[in-house]
Amino acid sequence: MNEMLPLPTRRDEAWRYSDLGALAPVWPDIAGQREEIVIAEGESATRQLVLEAGEPNVAVETLAIRIEKGGSFALHCLAIDADYGRIAVEVTLAEGAHFELGGAILGTGDQTLEIVTDVRHVEPGGTSNQVVRSVLGETATGSFLGKVGVARDAQKVDASQSVKAMLLDRTATANAKPELEIFADDVKCAHGATVGELDKAALFYMASRGLPPAEARRLMLQAFIADAFVSLEDEAAHDAIEARALAVLEAIT
């Protein structure tokens, strides 16, 4: 019988901002659980993931993805609808492989929601792109922790991370920690993170053109989170996940 993994602590960087109190009751049932996904050489696949919380209102999804030579995998996800919700993704890319992540964190009340990624380029020529957008209200906490690792022999890798958060209330909290660990010397890697509020000048401009304030806010937030799903090429899937996100935005704004 395998010994259960211990409950994470805040000393573990990947769990620094987590709600460990909410996690503790479900940990015996989920410890060590993860979904394994392998993309064969030259193949492509996509996945859409929306957190679905049970009772207690906690949802944790962990994916371990291996993309073989020349393959590609696109993951688009929503962290919503949970007192504590976590999407954790571990990706290993072979030569010339591509990984695409588009994620949105939409929280209100005292929710704690997070997306955590560990993307490892272990062979040359791979590419990865991660785009995460957060909208947070009341006392919600939204976190993105994203690590990109490039192995010593993984030359010609191109990796990027774009993380932006919008706070609807000053009491909300956004944490962003993009991280690069590079051992190769011929790579192109970049990351950026910003946290802000709705542009008051833009809101005033829209109001001056006759747009009601609530509608102006909705349109600005819709445009803000749309960045996370622009890479989803399947029109039906794109419309479905964006509609779900917009429904949540309506509720929290």
Return the pLDDT at 142. 97
Q: How far apart are CA 108 and CA 135, in angstroms?
A: 9
- The pTM for the full model equals 0.93
Average pLDDT over the chain, rounded to an integer? 93
E runs forming strands in the chain: 35-39, 44-50, 58-67, 72-79, 84-93, 98-107, 112-121, 127-136, 141-150, 158-167, 173-182, 188-196
Q: What are the residues facing 118 on neighbouring strands? A: 90, 147
Can you say whether residue 33 is alpha, beta or left, with left for phi > 0 and alpha for psi between -120 and 50 degrees?
beta
Assign 3 a pLDDT band (cuts: 50, 70, 90): low
Summarize pLDDT for 114-153 with one digit per residue, the tens.
999 999 999 999 999 999 999 999 999 999 999 999 999 9
> Among the residues of the chain, which ranges form H helices?
20-23, 27-30, 200-208, 213-226, 235-252
Summarize pLDDT for 16-71 with one digit per residue, the tens.
999 999 999 999 999 989 999 999 999 999 999 999 777 789 999 999 999 999 99
